[in-house]
């Protein structure tokens, strides 16, 4: 796969992360490492001070402590 061309790319100086808990009903949420993404060639860079993201986790079981916020 060749590089992706973007007219404008945004760089965020920092992130705020919020954790949202869901009832997994005995199942487990899992992530898979996919490796680095494709090369992106940007015509212009815009810098923003902050961005936010929400991550989802299963409710902790009564015998475990919740995982720390990322």
In order along the chain (70 residues), what is the average pLDDT of each group of 10 residues? 85 90 84 84 92 86 57
Structural domains in the chain (count): 1
Residue 11 in domain: yes
Whether 35 is covered by a domain: the verdict is: yes
* 54 located within any domain: yes
Closest C-alpha to 51, from 8, 19, 13: 13
Q: Residue 66: what pLDDT?
A: 55
Report yes or no on 64 lying in a domain: no
Rg (CA), the chain: 17
Whether residue 41 is contained in a domain is answered as: yes
Please tell me the predicted confidence (pLDDT) of residue 47: 93
**Calpha distance 34→53 (Å, rounded):** 19
pLDDT at residue 8, rounded to an integer: 92
- Contact assessment for residue 52 and residue 14, using Cβ atoms and an 8 Å cutoff: no
Domain range enclosing 41: 4-58
70 falls within a domain = no
């Amino acid at each position: 796969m060749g590089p992706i061309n973007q007219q404008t790319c945004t760089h965020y100086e920092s992130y705020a992360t919020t954790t949202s808990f869901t009832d997994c009903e005995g199942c487990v949420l899992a992530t898979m490492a996919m490796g680095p993404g494709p090369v992106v060639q940007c015509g212009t860079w815009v810098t923003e001070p902050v961005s936010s993201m929400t991550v989802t986790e299963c409710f902790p079981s009564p015998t475990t402590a919740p995982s720390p916020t990322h």
